[in-house]
Amino acid sequence: MNEVKLSLSAKRQIGTYLREKYNTTSQIKVTNDGAVTIHVDQMPNSSQAGWIFAGWDTELLNESAN
């Protein structure tokens, strides 16, 4: 379980990073345990829209800083 609580600016940084990565303006959710999901127009191996796991908040924060 992730014990790091991210600031609002860190969550916004992750949101900006994921929206650029997935080329979307979709919603992003960060759960209390640090899991980050994003709503995409087409899920992998499917033709349907839905929520996918994007990664863990601290890992995505590190990726977005690079």
The per-residue pLDDT for range 48-62, each reduced to its tens digit, is: 989 999 999 999 999
Domain count, the chain: 1
pLDDT at residue number 13: 95
pLDDT at 42 over 90: no
Res. 3 pLDDT band, cuts 50 70 90: low
Task: Evaluate whether residue 33 is within a structural domain.
Answer: yes
Domain enclosing residue 26, as ranges? 8-65
Task: Evaluate whether residue 34 is within a structural domain.
Answer: yes
Task: Evaluate whether residue 2 is within a structural domain.
Answer: no
Task: Evaluate whether residue 59 is within a structural domain.
Answer: yes
Nearest to 29 by CA among 4, 48, 55: 55
Task: Evaluate whether residue 3 is within a structural domain.
Answer: no
Are residues 35 and 18 in contact, defined by beta-carbon separation less than 8 angstroms?
no
pTM of the model: 0.82
The per-residue pLDDT for range 15-39, each reduced to its tens digit, is: 999 999 988 888 999 998 999 999 9
